[in-house]
Each structure stands twice: as structure tokens, then as C-alpha cells.
Amino acid sequence: MKKNNSNEKKVIGKPFRKVDARAKCTGQTKFADDIVLPRMLFCKMLRSPMPHALIKRIDISKALKLPGVVAVLTGRDLPIPYGILPVSEDEHALCIDKVRFIGDPVAAIAAVDEDTAFDAMDLIEVEYERLDSIASIEDALRPDASRIHEYGDGGNVHKKVSLEFGDIEAGFADADLVREDVFFYEGNTHLPLEQHSAVAILDPDDKLTLWSSTQTPHYVHRALAKVLEMPATHIRVIATPNGGGFGGKSDPFNHEIVVAKLAMVTGRPVKITLTREEVFYCHRGRHPVLMWVKTGAKKDGAITAMHFRSFLDGGAYGSYGVASTFYTGALQTVTYEVPRYKFEGLRVFTNKPPCGPKRGHGTPQPRFALEAQIDKIAEELGLDPVEMRRQHLVKPNTITANYLRVGSIGLGECIDKIVAASDWKNQYRKLPYGKGVGFACSSYICGAGLPIYWNNMPHSGVQLRLDRQGGVCVMCGSIDIGQGSDSILAYIVAEVLGIDPFDIRVITADTDLTPVDLGSYSSRVTLMTGHAALQAAERARELLAKAAAEKLDVPTECISFSDRRVFDVEDAERGMTFAEAVQLAESKFGTIGTVGSYTPPRSPGKYKGAGVGPSPAYSYSAAVAEVDVDPETGIVIVERVWIAHDIGQSINPALVMGQVEGGVYMGLGEVLMEEMAYRGNRNVVHKFPSMLEYKSPTTLEMCDVKTILVEDPDPNGPFGAKEVGQGPLLPVPPAVVNAIYDAVGVRIDEVPATPEKVLAALRAKAQGKDGRFGPKSVPDVEWPEPIRVPTPAEGGDGKELPRVAVHS
Amino acid sequence: MTRTKSQKALIRFTLNGEPSEVAFAPHKTLLEVLREDLGLTGTKHGCELGECGTCTVLIDGQPILSCLFLGLDAEDREVTTIEGMAEGGKLHPLQDTFADLGAAQCGYCTPGFLLVAKELLEKNPSPSRNEIQEALAGNLCRCTGYIKIYEAVELAAARMRGEEVEPPRESIYGFEV
């Protein structure tokens, strides 16, 4: 009898359909707004027309008298503050005394239909006392600026950080070239096609259920318990499939809390679905970041030291902003060797919709600055920009200067393959005027090493139930936002148990039914839920193998699982169906259920601020952009992007390809056109709260994408898998601006690189001035004394040096 | 300030091949009538201002934005929604290729894309990549970068022409160097 090759993967690495593909292609996926319940009320929120004002008086009496209005809430009904990060719980579901941006909600109405709720909004009287509004980073730093919040690091500075790893001055002294450059990356937004929506109901047993289009049901659950002052055990949060997230549905939102409260007050189901305009006010998108980078390099391009400063325009609330601030300084060290590194960052509050995490969270901005500057360094040193990068890559199994532990790094292979595929050597500096190619690399985390609130519990849990019919049910708190996380669970369990992924029932994102997973953010889901699923499946497999081995009278390790059968690996005909194996196991052990969980390894960094940046693994990408720049109009057309991505191991290559292409698309939108722009008095009225005016790439702007998958399995990934949801966005903006330089010889040090900016730089160049568009300087601020951490090379242990007491 | 509640209007039309009638407040858009009065939630909305293409349905075979189309104007017309795309339990070839290639990521814009692509292939069985891009230019997708959608349309077109074809290896495993 033929021996079965048990190492051959049947599911992993294969292009299976997603488990929800049929539902999505037949319109049967139930998104939050598709939920309709008997007696359901509709909610609208009245939003502030003022960017910054005190609420002097609010009168809801007329609205309450409108027939069809069932309840009206104001801020006093929900007095407890909340926020995604425990260090910045600065939001109220409805503003109480003060509004902080145009769109901040002040009242909420529940009515029998949406039209009545709309009408009732006109009947609420609000008297505001206008305050000075803060429109920009510079504005926020003015000593006389009125304060938006009463907490933070002084004035309108929300957070100010300073970290120093090694003696950077010695590094600069040792350099042959030191460059200082200033960059700006404009804010932009997620623009998911699905507007946020939530439905709440008071259950017959007096418990509360909330369905919501959220990427983080666990955090919403915690926020509801806090604000509603209810035991968490009486609240059930079900995340509905997200019609696009990209980070924009990762905060607990005011509308979720409001409909929950309205359901409790009215005893009826209450739904809210935001308008597109309101989605722009929810925002939590990419922070506008102003950056100053000083880098020292040897003649061969080796970096001797880097000093990076970032200034983030945070908008009106904290959101993930403290994490975002640290992220703008965290991942500079994981691509090229940076032996000494200093980071100073600050985030300010302004009277604009709050910024938060968008695909790449805080890292596309510094990556843009870093890769654009490296291009300039290579030119000044007379080196090929690709070869220079290639020579100085971080080595596998390294601890960087800022104590990030890099395991596998497939970046060298990414570079080599993309250079060959794109014919880089025959393109770069060899194309006619107007055409150009540009190169950039990047890296991203595969899940954050630390949870958002401090605890020692797993980041992801999976529960498996096997029934005697052979049915397998996998339960996990993770939420599918389109990336395919439900399918990843099914693929991994199917691989381990030798069954078909479509035999498996997947139940996810229901706080009553599924073990906690922290949520779909930080590119953590495949790695973390993957490990938890793998562990649960292996435990189930062990039970089945024991029972089958007893029956077949062979050692347990001789039992193999494949093609819905459980059999003797030496003689595949000696065996049974998978269902029969479950029956044997159930007879022997009782009902078969197992659990698995995953906690990331501890980070080597022990200093204050070491919590942001560590990850079990890092993905890598390299990209070449081919552009066509019209010197008459400044219009940049990106013809093609070549991208190589180090995925570790594809769990499903078709889905990996889709994530790469989607990431390239989003990076293209950011570099060419997308921006959260403001106008009006003091520049705080959103200019484009519509999809027509907020430009994003259609099929006519989207470029051709040539993707190369590099598989360098990481020991910390399930089957070696790393992330792909966010990393491939990162190299696109810098590759495009570097290509613009190759095409027409101007540096666009600001994103988006709109035609106006390209033309301005071309005109300046024609007049003999600096052929560059970008910010000229950064604000002069007083930075705190840095937290000093000796690097690993200096014998550091990851801890900061004791602060020297300063005597005045 | 109170709104006068207008009487419901009743229309007869063909919905996904079946004679149908529905009563609704006469100011409602076809999008609202489909979702709220007929319970067909497969038709999605992204802006309700005619900007994103998500709510596309077919009227007499032509794609229209149901958020800009009055329900009343559907009288005596043939309306096709995503719910009417599969034939019985058998998926339309476009639905199959969208599923196979991962052209539906979050799936929210998918019904609109599928219906526009269906109409395209009915009038042009062998569209070029450019023709596909032109046809789909009114539909926004934020997940896919459109590439898998083009590939799915091309694969379905080939299959509908009777060709026995599999997806190109490059679209699933990437470009091989």
C-alpha cells in the first residue's frame, strides 16, 4: 500500500475560495444596515456646525413633541468618557459642555422613521459660544492658542516623546555625508464603501445586544460596559461583516453608544446608519505629519545615525494618537541598518475630525520621508539607489537599535526579483524626459506585540467543537473586514484535520459566543488567530488520533489525516472516515471541544515607550513605480507598479495577491490625489465631505500591478505566514515621488503629489531655483530630555538609563 | 413643521423576472424601495448621491444608480438586482469567477460591479481590458485595486464564450521571475 506523504499541504498555499465568497457574490452577506427588526426606530445625531465652541444651552423640548419622535438624548444622558486608549479617554458619546470639531455630535434622536428623525434635528435648539479654532500644527503650538483639551503635554500638545538609542552625535561625526530634509504627508481617509452602521436591541432577558460594523468588537464591548455602567456580561456585541474597514472602524464610536442607550431608554430596537458626510466626520484616518529627518551616511551608503522628528496633526480627540505618534518613529530601523537612532515626536490637537489608524498606522508617512531621503543620499554619493539599499539591509535574527526583534527578512530577495522583473538597470536614468522609474522598500508589523489595555491574557482565542456527524465548528472573536480572516480560520483547521475548508462552520466576532480576539487591526489576524486555530486544531487532532490509533492498533504518531479520512500512515486503506474518528473520540473522551490561544513573545525593549513597534514578525516589500509626467500640466500618470512582498508563507496566494493589489491601490490614491482638505474661516470646515470631491482612484486612474510573492517562512508565523494587509501600501508613495524625480528632475517632498505641486517645482527649477516642492522647516519646539537607551551593540539590555537629576 | 404623510403609491413591475407589485411612500428612491419595502438588501448604498456606483441595478438591462432613480419610475420596467443574477441555485459565470479570484473582498461594492459587468458582457462578449475599465469606471472599490475584478470579468467572458479556461497562474501566484 502506498505511503501517504503527510507533509504535503492540502489547503495551505492553495487558492481556495473564501468561505463567504458565495454570500458576497450573491448579495446575501448581512451587513449592519441590512438588519431590520420589528418596531425598529431610526436614530439621527445632531452635529455641531462650530469647530470649537462652548455649549451654553441645549433645548430638546420641541423635538420631543414632534409626532413620531420617541426619545432624544443629550450629553448629560451619557456623562462617562471613553476612548480606545486608556491614556486618552477624552470622548463623550454626545458633547456635554464643549464641541471640538464640525461634526461633533450634541444630541441624538430616535424616531419611527429616518425622515421624522431628520425633521426633529431642526427642532433642537443649541446655543454656542464660539472659541478660537485651531486649524494646524503651527496654530496649535501658539502659546496663546485656546486649549482644546485640558490634558496632555502642555497647551494643545497631546503627546510629546523623545527617545535616543546610542550616541547619534558620534554617528553624525563619523559620517561622510549628513543630510537634513523636511517632508509633509497630508492626511487622508479610509473611505470604506460601507457607511458605519449599528443596531441595538434590549433583549427579552433585559440584556443588550449591539450589531455594528466594527473592526474591534472586544473594545466596543468594553466601552459600552463602561459608558452604560452595565456589567459586560449583560452586553453582547456582534460585529457584522465590515464593508471595508482599513482602520476606520477600529475605535468605539459615539453612534454605537448612542443607539445602545436609546434601545435601553425606548425598549425598542434602534438603528443608525451614517450618511457619507458623517463618515468623513468619524474619520480616524491618516494623520497629517510634518517630518524632519537628519541622516548620516558613509561613502558606501551605510547609515551611521538617524535623527527623526515628527509633528502629527491629531484632530480633535486622542483616538489611537499616542500609538500613532510612536509609530511615526518606530519602524525606521527594521529595513536598513541604523546603528544609532533618535526619535522626537509630538501630536497636537486641532479642531478637525480626529485622526487615528489607517492602513499602515503611522508608518507610511515616515516611510515616505525615509525612502525619499535615501534616494537623495544615493544621488549625492553617486550610488545606485537600489544597490545602496541592498548593501545595508538588516540581517535576519537581529535586534535593532530600538530593540525590535527582526526574525526572517526576505527583503533582499524582494529587491533582487523586482530589479530583474522590472528591468530596473535599463530603465533608471535611461528613459526619455517625462518618463521615469522610482524605487522604495518598506516593512510592517505582523500584529502589535502589546494589547491596547494592559493585561497578560492571550491576544487571540479559538474554540473548536467537533460533532459526531463530522461537523467542525470554529469560533473566534476575529472579524472579517474583507481580508478573509474567516477563511483563514477554516483553511488552517481544515489543513490540520485533513478535511475540506467548506466542511467547517465559522462563527466569529460575537462576544457572547466566541473567545476574545483583539480585533482586525495592526495586521495581526492571520498570525495571531492563525496560531490559536492551529493550536486548537492540533489538540483536537490529538484526541482523534488517540482514539483512531487504539482502534487500528498502531502508535498514535502513525495516524494521518487527509481527504476527510483518518488512517494508518503506513497503509492508507486501514482507516476510517473523519466522522467515524470523531465518533470514536467522542465515545472515548466525551464531547469533543478544544481551545487554542496565542500570546506574542515578549519584546526585548524594556524602556518607557517600548510598547509600540514590537511584533512577532515583520513583513517586507520592495516596489518600482513607472511614471509618465506631463511637464506642461504637472499630471502624473502611474503606468505600472512592480511590487515584491515577503509574505513568509501564503496561506492562500489568491487572497495574498488581492491584498497586495489593494494596498498598492490605496498607496497610489494617497500619493496622487487623496487628501482631507479643509477650507473656510480658520480652515476647519471639511472641504470635501463627499465621494465625488474626495478624489480616489477609479478604474481609469488605477495602474497596472505586477506582483511577486516572496516566501521566506518566519518561525513566528503559523506555517511561516506573515502579514500582507498593510505592508504593500507603504513603498508606493515614495517609489512614485522618486520616479517623478527620475522623469522630470523635481523633488516632490509632500504627499499627495498633485499636478499643482509638480508644476510649481518645475517652474522653480526653470527659474534656476530649487526644483522642489515641500515644506521648508519644522516648528522650533522644546523637546523633553530623551529617554536614553544604550543599543544592543553598545551592550544595552533594553532598559533606559536612569535619569540624571537636574539641579537648578 | 410636521410632514404630511403621503399615501403610499402602488406600482407593478418585473423584478428579477417575476411580475411584482409594491406599495411605498412616493418620494422613495428605487434603492429605498428595494431595500426597505421589498427586503432585497443585496443592493447596497455607499453615498446615496450618485457618486460611488454601489447601488447599481439593471433597468430593462441597463445599469442605473438606484439611489438617483425614483421608485415610481420603475413602473412597468424590468428590474434586475443581485438577487436575480444566479439562475436558481446556479451562479452566473461572473459570480463564479469573482468568487474564485477573490474579486469580492469585503463584498460591499460587489453587487454593483457584478451587474455592470453582466450588462457589459451581454453587449460585448470579448471586451478588452480598456473596455472593461471604461465600463466599470463609475463603480468605486476600495479593497481590490480593481485588478482581480478585471481578471474575473475576463475569465467569465472567456467561459461564457465557451472557452474552457482556468485563471492565469500569474493572477493567483504572482509574477514569476
**CB-CB: which of A66, A668, A708 is closest to B2?**
A66
Chain A nearest C-alpha distance from B21 (Å): 21
C-alpha cell at A716: 513566528
Looking at the fold, whether B68 and B110 belong to one and the same domain comes out as no
Residue A85: CB atoms within 10 Å = 17
- Is the ipTM beyond the 0.95 threshold? yes
Is A709–B173 a contact, with Cβ atoms under 8 angstroms apart? yes
pLDDT band at B94 (very low <50, low <70, confident <90, very high): very high
DSSP string spanning A570-593?
TEEEEEEEHHHHHHHHHHHHSSEE
Nearest-by-CA chain A residue for B130: A700
Looking at the fold, whether A340 and A393 belong to one and the same domain comes out as no
Q: Are strands A678-679 and A685-686 parallel, antiparallel or unpaired?
A: antiparallel
Q: Which of A91-95, A98-102, A675-679, A751-755 is predicted with the least confidence, judged by mean pLDDT?
A: A675-679
pLDDT band at A8 (very low <50, low <70, confident <90, very high): confident
- Residue B4 has what pLDDT? 53
Chain Cα centroid distance, residue A547: 44
Over residues A282-295, the mean pLDDT reads 98
pLDDT band at B177 (very low <50, low <70, confident <90, very high): confident
Q: Is B119 on the interface with A (CB under 8 A)?
A: no
Query: Any residues with CB less than 8 A from the CB of A107 and at least 6 apart, and which?
Result: A45, A46, A58, A60, A63, A72, A73, A74, A94, A121, A124, A126
Rounded Cα distance, B136 and B115, in Å: 10
Q: Is B102 on the interface with A (CB under 8 A)?
A: yes
Domain residues for the domain of A143 are: 32-356
Final residue of a structural domain among B30, B61, B84: B84
Q: Which of A56, A47, A61, A125 is nearest to A93 (CA)?
A: A47
Looking at the fold, whether B164 and B97 belong to one and the same domain comes out as yes
Over residues B116-120, the mean pLDDT reads 98
Q: Is A25 on the interface with B (CB under 8 A)?
A: yes
Chain Cα centroid distance, residue A235: 26
Domain with B34 in it: what CATH number? 3.10.20.30
Q: Which of B87, B88, B89, B86 is nearest to B98 (CA)?
A: B86
Is A661–B144 a contact, with Cβ atoms under 8 angstroms apart? yes
Looking at the fold, whether B67 and B101 belong to one and the same domain comes out as no
Task: Answer whether A690's CB lies under 8 Å from B46's CB.
Answer: no
pLDDT digits (tens, 9 = 90+) for A720-779: 999 999 999 999 999 999 999 999 999 999 999 999 999 999 999 999 999 999 999 999
- Residue B2 has what pLDDT? 43
Looking at the fold, whether A650 and A521 belong to one and the same domain comes out as no
Looking at the fold, whether A441 and A493 belong to one and the same domain comes out as no
Instruction: Give the mean pLDDT of chain A.
Output: 96
Cis omega before residue A752 (within 30°)? yes
Looking at the fold, whether A580 and A624 belong to one and the same domain comes out as no
Is A193–B101 a contact, with Cβ atoms under 8 angstroms apart? no
Looking at the fold, whether A587 and A667 belong to one and the same domain comes out as no
Instruction: Tell whether B4 is covered by a domain.
Output: no
Instruction: Tell whether B97 is covered by a domain.
Output: yes
Final residue of a structural domain among B58, B84, B110: B84
Instruction: Tell whether A606 is covered by a domain.
Output: no
Is residue A3 over pLDDT 70?
no
Report the percent of chain A where pLDDT is more than 90.
97
H or E element: which one contains A647? none
Nearest-by-CA chain B residue for A123: B1
pLDDT digits (tens, 9 = 90+) for A760-777: 999 999 999 999 999 999
C-alpha cell at A476: 473566534
pLDDT digits (tens, 9 = 90+) for A374-392: 999 999 999 999 999 999 9
Instruction: Tell whether B166 is covered by a domain.
Output: yes
319-358 in chain A: CB under 8 A from chain B: none
Is residue A557 over pLDDT 60?
yes
Over residues B67-72, the mean pLDDT reads 98
Is B1–A66 a contact, with Cβ atoms under 8 angstroms apart? yes
Rounded Cα distance, A736 and A185, in Å: 14
Rounded Cα distance, A192 and B155, in Å: 27
Is A26–B82 a contact, with Cβ atoms under 8 angstroms apart? yes
Is A22–B99 a contact, with Cβ atoms under 8 angstroms apart? yes
Looking at the fold, whether A426 and A492 belong to one and the same domain comes out as no
H or E element: which one contains A125? strand A125-130
Grid cell 451614517 — which residue? A274
- Residue B6 has what pLDDT? 66
Domain with B148 in it: what CATH number? 1.10.150.120
Looking at the fold, whether B77 and B115 belong to one and the same domain comes out as no
Is residue A595 over pLDDT 70?
yes
Is B106–A67 a contact, with Cβ atoms under 8 angstroms apart? no
State the count of interchain CB pairs (< 8 A) between A and B. 209
Is residue A805 over pLDDT 70?
no
| CA triple A129-A133-A135, angle to 5 deg | 160
Q: Show residues of chain A in contact with B83, CB under 8 Å.
A: 26-27
**CB-CB: which of B42, B132, B171 is closest to A27?**
B42
Domain residues for the domain of B61 are: 9-84
Looking at the DSSP bridge assignments, the partners of residue A719 are none
Over residues A150-157, the mean pLDDT reads 97
91-150 in chain A: CB under 8 A from chain B: 115-116, 119, 122-123
Within chain B, what is the greatest distance between any pair of CA atoms? 69
Is B106–A484 a contact, with Cβ atoms under 8 angstroms apart? no
Is A708–B176 a contact, with Cβ atoms under 8 angstroms apart? yes
**CB-CB: which of B49, B104, B150 is closest to A276?**
B49
- Best of B1, B106, B129 to substitute, by most chain A Cβ atoms within 10 angstroms, is B106
Q: Is B173 on the interface with A (CB under 8 A)?
A: yes
pLDDT digits (tens, 9 = 90+) for A299-327: 999 999 999 999 999 999 999 999 999 99
Rounded Cα distance, A203 and A548, in Å: 44
Is residue A808 over pLDDT 80?
no
Report the percent of chain B where pLDDT is more than 90.
95
pLDDT digits (tens, 9 = 90+) for A44-75: 999 999 999 999 999 999 999 999 999 999 99
Instruction: Tell whether B158 is covered by a domain.
Output: yes
Residue type, A626: E
Is residue A681 over pLDDT 70?
no
Q: Which of A746, A736, A742 is nearest to A767 (CA)?
A: A746
Q: Show residues of chain A in contact with B95, CB under 8 Å.
A: 22, 25-26
Per DSSP, the three-state class of A607 is: coil
Q: Residue A100: left if φ>0, alpha if ψ -120 to 50, beta else—which one?
A: alpha
pLDDT digits (tens, 9 = 90+) for B6-41: 699 999 999 999 999 999 999 999 999 999 999 999
Nearest-by-CA chain A residue for B35: A34
Instruction: Tell whether B3 is covered by a domain.
Output: no
Is residue A683 over pLDDT 70?
no
Looking at the fold, whether B71 and B101 belong to one and the same domain comes out as no
Sheet holding A125-130, edge to edge: A98-99, A53-59, A125-130
Is B46–A658 a contact, with Cβ atoms under 8 angstroms apart? no
Domain count within chain B: 2
For A213-247, the three-class secondary structure string (H helix, E strand, C coil) is CCCCHHHHHHHHHHHHCCCHHHEEEEECCCCCCCC
Looking at the fold, whether B46 and B24 belong to one and the same domain comes out as yes
Looking at the fold, whether A441 and A462 belong to one and the same domain comes out as no
- Best of A18, A19, A20, A24 to substitute, by most chain B Cβ atoms within 10 angstroms, is A24
Domain count within chain A: 3
Instruction: Tell whether B1 is covered by a domain.
Output: no
**CB-CB: which of A67, A655, A708 is closest to B2?**
A67
Is B3–A244 a contact, with Cβ atoms under 8 angstroms apart? no
Per DSSP, the three-state class of A762 is: helix
pLDDT digits (tens, 9 = 90+) for A483-508: 999 999 999 999 999 999 999 999 99
Rounded Cα distance, A290 and A521, in Å: 24
Is B46–A666 a contact, with Cβ atoms under 8 angstroms apart? no
Q: Show residues of chain B in contact with A668, CB under 8 Å.
A: 145
144-203 in chain A: CB under 8 A from chain B: 190-195
